[in-house]
Amino acid sequence: MKMIFKYYGKYAHLIIAALVFLTGEALCELQLPSYMSGLISEGIGQSNMQVVMTYGWKMIALTVVACVCSVMVGYFASKVAARISRDLRSDIFNRVMSFANEEYNKFSVSSLITRSTNDITQIQMLTVIFLRMIMFAPIMGIGGTVKAIQHSSGISALAYVIIVAIAIVILLIIIALSVVQPRFIKMQKQVDAVNQIANDELNGMMVIRAFNTQEHEERRFDKANKDLTSTALFTSRMMAMLMPIMTVVMNGVMLAIVWLFAYKVEDIQQVSNMMAFMQYALQIIMSFMMISMIFIVLPRAVVSIKRVSEVLNTEISIKNADGRDDESGIRFKGDVKFENVSYSYGGGAPAIEGITFEAKSGEVTALIGSTGSGKSTVINLIPRLMDVSEGAVTIDGVNVKDINLKDLRNNIGFVPQKNTLFSGTVASNIGYGLDNASVDDLQQAARIAQAEEFINSSEEGYNREIAQGGTNVSGGQKQRLAIARALSKKAPIYVFDDSFSALDFKTDAKLRMALAEEMADATVIIVAQRVGTIKNADRIVVLDDGKIVGIGKHEELLRSCETYADIAKSQLSEEELGL
Ligand code: ADP
Ligand code: MG
């Protein structure tokens, strides 16, 4: 909650401007009934046209000033609100960008989207209403009371009328809020749910069609949609009920005032007082209604403020060590070392345990093991996509935690298991993350990645469009583009997480050969399923159930490591095995 004020502080000058105009508007409105009363008693009462005209002009002037002030208030209030939501949105986006897996898993993607759109809109709305009313209501309330007393013609019962009316207004608001507030919390969650399902279904469209589950998915969406609708309807109905009740209260007040004055009216003076008093009574009650308006918007916005703050206040677990804030542009030799490393997801049982091995520069180190054995977990620790739970990962003897994050990642060409292409062109994807990649660089990367052939086979070549998520290229083409993207960084360390699985054997072999030739000095770490892919690696690390069960070369492991021998036997012929 406190953090929100920081955002308002930045626009203090605009807020003050809004409040100044607001005060002006309130003072004008406050003066108008007095003039009207004067016009009736001194002008019409004395049949003095001169006085009528003077008061008339004064009233017109005041009205014009009030209008101008009102427009200015709207202008400044909207400006503040729009800027604050802009700042919030950009801060949320930046914060989410620096989230590590751990934080990311805490919120769902759809919730993050709702938080940076719908929730911020709520805050924006509150800001406008708040700035519109915050000063207005007290001035009208207090000023109106003072003025009303002046025009009460000494009828003390009038005070009770207003007090009773205000009490009813406050009571109504309390009742409405206590019923509606919990629903507002529910409502934001239901917006999340609708987004989540829509997101799921749009992404999984192909699967839904292939499995003929449209109806099931429609029902799922329908339910979430209806839940949201019924909550929204309930809250709107409750809020809508407030208005007619308020109108009844207002008219009751009018009636009571006329009735009380009726006993007293003897001359035009009292009639003019009655007219003015009515207006002031309305202003007083209106001021309470305005405050109630704030309370109508506030609960929903408070929920939103909390949800936005949650994102902004999330501690980022992976960040630069103290004093490592400046990028130094360092190039590593590239010796990667794991020392007794363990990692557990969400503090559960360790996914990998006691991992110790070395990947030297100029060598190819391979990781193999059944699915779920922890290969991806191991290599995600190198660019600090996650941080080790125990032990240390070092590059050239320096703990990765002590390296500036940008430096660290600039030194690693990484191909994740689940790779993503971005909408753009072939060239923009290969040169992704590079400020100024030359055509030669892109072509070299594409050549090593064996992507050149299919790039050149289309007419547009490097300018060929890539759809969002890379849906308009095949799985193997996507993998090769992702590999080219990593290679174009010309980093001393390359990590390929299961990046050759969608390639045919021939391309796989050609790619590895090109890698060995052109990246001879680099540290290459390959995660693979196929023994054939890694047979010639300088060092093979065999993983089983999160633990290393063997390190060595192909031939050694065939003899010494049962797990490796099993994998190899299932894939290679006796001849290839050399038995
Ligand atoms: P591999 O890459 O060898 O197939 P992973 O490293 O992806 O295996 O997974 C190792 C283990 O960690 C598996 O048991 C998997 O269920 C678990 N795991 C992987 N990712 C997560 C995650 N984000 N949250 C929780 N557990 C995970
Ligand atoms: Mg994996």
| Per-residue pLDDT tens digits for 410-431 | 999 999 988 889 999 999 999 9
Query: Alpha-carbon distance 493 to 262, whole Å?
Result: 94
Q: Which residue's CA lies nearest to atom 23 of ligand 1? A: 345
Query: Alpha-carbon distance 223 to 229, whole Å?
Result: 10
Query: Alpha-carbon distance 501 to 482, whole Å?
Result: 13
Which pLDDT score, from 0 to 100, does residue 269 have?
86
pLDDT in tens, 290-303: 887 787 778 788 88
Q: Is 376 in the pocket of ligand 1 (CB under 6 A)?
A: yes
**pLDDT at 98 > cutoff 60:** yes
Contact 413, 487 (CB under 8 A): yes
Q: Which residue's CA lies nearest to atom 24 of ligand 1? A: 345
On the CB side of 106, CA atoms within 13 Å amount to 14
Atom number of ligand 1 nearest to Cα 377 = 6
**Residues 6 or more apart in contact with residue 185 via CB below 8 angstroms:** 303
Q: Is 404 in the pocket of ligand 1 (CB under 6 A)?
A: no
Strand 364-369 relative to strand 539-544, pairing: parallel
Question: 1 pLDDT band (50/70/90 cuts)?
Answer: low
Structure-token match 């019923």, residue found = 179
Ligand 1 centre from 373 Cα, in Å?
8
Tell me the H-state helices in 151-213: 157-203, 205-210
User: For the chain, what percent of residues have pLDDT higher than 90?
Assistant: 55
From residue 237, give the alpha-carbon distance in Å to each of 125, 171, 231. 20, 18, 10
Nearest-ligand number for the alpha carbon of 343: 1
End-to-end Cα, the chain, rounded Å: 70
Q: Is 373 in the pocket of ligand 1 (CB under 6 A)?
A: yes
Instruction: Residue 23: name the closest of 144, 145, 133 by CA.
Output: 133
What is the average pLDDT score of the chain? 90
Two tokens at 458? 């289309």
Ligand 1 centre from 420 Cα, in Å?
19
**Cα angle 146-148-151, degrees, rounded to a multiple of 5:** 115
Which pLDDT score, from 0 to 100, does residue 323 have?
63
Atom number of ligand 1 nearest to Cα 527 = 2
Question: Which has more pLDDT, 342 or 264?
Answer: 342
Query: Alpha-carbon distance 519 to 317, whole Å?
Result: 33
Contact 89, 116 (CB under 8 A): yes
Two tokens at 161? 């009328």
CATH architecture of structural domain 418-490: 3-Layer(aba) Sandwich (3.40)
From residue 536, give the alpha-carbon distance in Å to each of 110, 116, 571. 44, 49, 15
- Residue 303: strand pairing partners: none
Ligand 2 centre from 502 Cα, in Å?
14
Question: 31 pLDDT band (50/70/90 cuts)?
Answer: very high
Question: Which has more pLDDT, 5 or 234?
Answer: 234
Q: b/e string for 389-410 if b means 16 or more Cβ within 10 A? A: bebbbbbeeeebbebbbebbbb
Nearest-ligand number for the alpha carbon of 352: 1
Q: Which residue's CA lies nearest to atom 7 of ligand 1? A: 376
Q: Is 545 in the pocket of ligand 1 (CB under 6 A)?
A: no
Q: Is 369 in the pocket of ligand 1 (CB under 6 A)?
A: yes
Pocket perturbation via mutation, ligand 1, pick of 367, 376, 497 by most ligand atoms within 8 A of CB? 376
**pLDDT at 192 > cutoff 90:** no
Mean pLDDT of 218-244: 91
Which pLDDT score, from 0 to 100, does residue 578 have?
65
Ligand 2 centre from 482 Cα, in Å?
16
Which pLDDT score, from 0 to 100, does residue 545 have?
93
Query: Alpha-carbon distance 484 to 133, whole Å?
Result: 58
Which pLDDT score, from 0 to 100, does residue 239 have?
81
Which pLDDT score, from 0 to 100, does residue 503 have?
84
Name the residue ranges covered by the structural domains of the chain. Answer: 2-312, 334-411+494-579, 418-490
Pocket perturbation via mutation, ligand 1, pick of 105, 352, 373, 567 by most ligand atoms within 8 A of CB? 373
Contact 360, 383 (CB under 8 A): no
Q: Catalogue the long-range contacts made by 7-14 (C-beta closer than 8 Å, 24 or more residues apart).
A: 7/84, 7/87, 7/88, 8/80, 8/84, 8/127, 10/87, 11/79, 11/80, 11/83, 11/84, 14/76, 14/79, 14/80, 14/83
Nearest-ligand number for the alpha carbon of 544: 1
Q: Is 380 in the pocket of ligand 1 (CB under 6 A)?
A: no
Q: What SS3 class is residue 398?
A: strand
Atom number of ligand 1 nearest to Cα 497 = 2
CATH architecture of structural domain 2-312: Up-down Bundle (1.20)
pLDDT in tens, 486-516: 999 889 999 999 988 888 888 888 988 898 8
Ligand 1 centre from 485 Cα, in Å?
25
Pocket perturbation via mutation, ligand 1, pick of 102, 103, 377 by most ligand atoms within 8 A of CB? 377
Judge residue 318's burial from the number of C-beta atoms within 10 Å of its C-beta, 0-12 exposed, 13-18 middle, 19 or more buried: middle
Query: Alpha-carbon distance 123 to 144, whole Å?
Result: 30
Tell me the H-state helices in 39-135: 49-97, 101-106, 109-116, 118-133
Mean pLDDT of 201-225: 93
Two tokens at 366? 């391979």
Query: Alpha-carbon distance 4 to 88, whole Å?
Result: 9
Q: Is 195 in the pocket of ligand 1 (CB under 6 A)?
A: no
Which pLDDT score, from 0 to 100, does residue 132 have?
87
Q: Is 371 in the pocket of ligand 1 (CB under 6 A)?
A: yes
Q: What SS3 class is residue 37?
A: helix
Atom number of ligand 1 nearest to Cα 371 = 4
Atom number of ligand 1 nearest to Cα 378 = 6
Instruction: Residue 373: name the closest of 204, 543, 537 by CA.
Output: 543
Nearest-ligand number for the alpha carbon of 499: 2
Q: Is 141 in the pocket of ligand 1 (CB under 6 A)?
A: no
Which pLDDT score, from 0 to 100, does residue 362 have?
92
Ligand 1 centre from 101 Cα, in Å?
12
Ligand 1 centre from 372 Cα, in Å?
6
pLDDT in tens, 436-485: 778 888 999 999 999 988 899 988 888 999 988 888 888 889 999 999 99
Query: Alpha-carbon distance 78 to 294, whole Å?
Result: 16
Mean pLDDT of 402-416: 92
Q: b/e string for 96-129 if b means 16 or more Cβ within 10 A? A: beebeebbeeebeebbbbbbbebbbebbbbbbbb
Which pLDDT score, from 0 to 100, does residue 102 have?
79
Two tokens at 126? 């509150």
Atom number of ligand 1 nearest to Cα 374 = 6
Which pLDDT score, from 0 to 100, does residue 103 have?
85
Ligand 1 centre from 27 Cα, in Å?
67
Question: 520 pLDDT band (50/70/90 cuts)?
Answer: confident
Which pLDDT score, from 0 to 100, does residue 324 have?
65
Instruction: Residue 70: name the closest of 129, 16, 127, 132 by CA.
Output: 132
Q: What is the CATH number of domain 334-411+494-579?
A: 3.40.50.300
Mean pLDDT of 131-154: 89
Q: Which residue's CA lies nearest to atom 19 of ligand 1? A: 377
Nearest-ligand number for the alpha carbon of 346: 1
The crossing angle, in degrees rounded to 10, of helices 109-116 and 268-312 is 150
Query: Alpha-carbon distance 545 to 351, whole Å?
Result: 8
Same fold, 334-411+494-579 and 418-490: yes
pLDDT in tens, 278-331: 999 999 988 888 887 787 778 788 889 999 999 999 888 888 877 666 778 889
Q: Is 283 in the pocket of ligand 1 (CB under 6 A)?
A: no
